[in-house]
Chain A
């Protein structure tokens, strides 16, 4: 169908609200669609339904006690959000973290990343009309939640990484269960590949849809698997190495086309890279303390501004803290990846078939609470 010809025919246009409770938006996001038949000519995301004033809260209590809030922004990457915030305060206050704690952080954060990717994998395919994969993905994901529940005490909104280390040491049971999980997930690859990745319907729904370019990503600040899908091997774990990531060998999966299929494959291949990191970390796991000996109860942050960036499952997460010298931050800004990733939608999705809009928005792997904060 010729979309240009329809462009003039404005009296056929109508506006449709997708959301705030639409299943494929995975949270309370509303998108105003101006439709021309089945084509979405203009899109306008409407945000803020889940705004919980995290940045305002941060300015009103000691910096240390903001840790549980971080997990509630991106509930799927909670441990990575914990890690970024812990690092920020450690940087500012000059606290040394024991090696064992850093290893535990990396292991749990990577488990968290796999869990997030598995949920995306299932939910994305569900959006596209395939019901079965989410059952398999959730089955695998449950194992991670069980492992993490044992050591952290919660299944979703973790508060496990603390300033100076982690709240509880891992034991042999954790190690053996994690090793068993690595085996298990690897044994599932052939099934996933047969069932999903080679599926012709999936190919047709994802190929050449929602193409991004490195140039567009720079203008919008798109990061994470979407940027890597355009051929840019940019990963904060590699470019600004934090924690003990430099000690592990892992690849940064990239694709070149920048479409939905590219980011799909990048995320899928990242599962294996995270497993590799966990495996190496378990092999090298040093003995020692899991918490720094001296963490002051009242954590005074010297005046100045501090930034801490980590690679969250959806892209770059940045905490920026301005301190006036007390233990309460003067200003805390959280840069969340989904926010910048979603802001591309009005440009990239205009003129698309409505069903392709669902493909393209699903490939952004949105978590709405981190957008609204």
Chain B
């Protein structure tokens, strides 16, 4: 019934200038993430090609939905390209499901392994709270976080998820919802956020800007 709108910026448009590859592996709508980077003036390309991940200066792994949608990373060669990108030292940001991928795995789909860059498995929320966890919740930021530089303690960010990652040594910020879980994680060039910075107003844009400046 609807006509499709004109496509947004694509690989061809940014050829030679793009720096950030936003990885499209079929898990939901990547528009908002691209839009936020566009707004910040960053050169982005949305790609499902392992080669584009390899040649990009920075990599963003977004994703919403079920952990099983990460299955396609294995069959397309993207998983290997992402592992190499992470190991190469280039700045890497996982958002929501993309952050969960950085851990060992998830109870949501036990047969799919995560990247194992951070230890532990993602688990369901306790029965004491409603699940999914949807809405604005606040950050308890650890001292020295580079990704959250300049972000005020207790700032609000937008969440929508049913599984959470454990608090680990590399946790850069935690949020409380039935228990304390990892809101942001960072180690060397690898960063992850469980919340949606692209939907978290000025706070979220400040975080993405920090990533753009790495």
Q: Does B associate with A?
A: no
